[in-house]
Amino acid sequence: MTVYGPWIFSDGEITEGGIVIERGGVRILDGHPGKVDVRCVVLPPMANAHTHLGDAFIREVPKGTVEEIVAPPNGFKFKMLKKASNDAIVRGMSGAVGEMERSGTGIFADFRENGIDGVRALRDALKGHDIGSIILARPKSLSYGAKEIDKLLRAADGIGLSSISEWKRSDLDAMSGQCRRAGKPFAIHASERAREPFGDVASLEPAFVVHMIEATARDLRDCAGLEIPVVVCPRSNAFFGTRPPMERMLAAGITIALGTDNAMLARPNIWEEMRYIRMNWRRVPEAEILRMGLANGWEIFGKNPWDSLRKGSTGSFPIIECDGIDPPKDLLICKIKVISLKR
């Protein structure tokens, strides 16, 4: 038995508490745990609410616009995916999943490209790993068929589309309707390179939207009012010279979660994403950044981070070791250590 504490991130803040690792599982402690074996702040496993792991095998990306680099069907990434073998793609994804586990991530949501084959490729890549996954599939091409969506909804956890600009309205409505009937989430990128009228996005009843970089003040207000969470991916956006308006999102009352987006642009490490925000959004309080990476992503998927360390799990969680009498004031400048339950 090993006791970690005496602090823990819980309900969005650092409080007294800890975690006990016992044979076959973990126990969360409320209040001061008494004698601890490892003096630290215990953090829950992180949530990566937006990835595209398919391009993890690509290690060199030319400079260019969002259209030129990542937009379907002719962006650089899609040309590379077409040329690559399934094996290389699966190996790349499996490597990226391993990186998430080693960096203390307990769940990720992937916007899976390439239809049913894409879903199967990610399932293959997940073999031998122990991490929560939300697979949001999309049709193989930019055309809609009810049967294909039914098949995707049976194989995957929901649908995740590029953006409303690439689709016919009737197709978007049909896909979001099928998700609703299947009780599975529909999610979509929004206002990434240019503003897309938020009403046209919101009427699809997305479980969450990604980016909202070019959203207007009114869009952000409407988004908050409808309680639609926004997933931001600041390091990936920086590659294209853009920046999510997090201060304005928070002021509007939006729940923000974090993603790392295309693995070829930013490796899937949420702690790095949080540190990047700390350095570049100095008006966003650290407590907010911690909630974005440690709590909000889980909430979007209706899950509790500690449940990922169920009995028999080989999952992992991060800690920040410290020897002072108080927890460190600025957690995001600290180094994390990832404790794995794997024996």
Q: Which residues bind Zn ion (CB under 5 A)?
A: 261
Going by the DSSP 8-state scheme, the letter that residue 294 receives in this structure is I
Angle at 74 between CA 72 and CA 77, to 5 degrees: 75
Q: Specify the pairing of strand 261-262 against strand 46-52.
A: parallel
**Cβ partners under 8 Å of residue 297, min gap 6:** 46, 47, 48, 49, 107, 109, 231, 257, 258, 259
Tell me the closest approach of the beta carbon of residue 190 to Zn ion, in angstroms. Answer: 11
Tell me the closest approach of the beta carbon of residue 204 to Zn ion, in angstroms. Answer: 16
Tell me the closest approach of the beta carbon of residue 111 to Zn ion, in angstroms. Answer: 5
C-beta nearest to Zn ion: residue: 261
Q: How many residues does the chain have?
A: 343
Q: Name which of 261 and 273 has its Cβ closer to Zn ion.
A: 261
Tell me the closest approach of the beta carbon of residue 52 to Zn ion, in angstroms. Answer: 5
Q: Name which of 196 and 261 has its Cβ closer to Zn ion.
A: 261
Q: Name which of 55 and 261 has its Cβ closer to Zn ion.
A: 261
Element (H, E) at 22: strand 13-22
Q: Name which of 277 and 309 has its Cβ closer to Zn ion.
A: 277
Q: Name which of 8 and 52 has its Cβ closer to Zn ion.
A: 52
Q: Are 306 and 28 in contact (CB under 8 A)?
A: yes
Distances from the Cα of 218 to the Cαs of 195, 214, 223, in angstroms?
12, 11, 8
Tell me the closest approach of the beta carbon of residue 321 to Zn ion, in angstroms. Answer: 34
Q: Name which of 113 and 130 has its Cβ closer to Zn ion.
A: 113
Tell me the closest approach of the beta carbon of residue 115 to Zn ion, in angstroms. Answer: 17
Q: Which residues of 260-280 are buried (b: 16+ CB within 10 A; e: fewer)?
A: bbbbbbbbbbbbebbbbbbee
Phi, psi for 256 (deg, rounded to 5): -110, 135
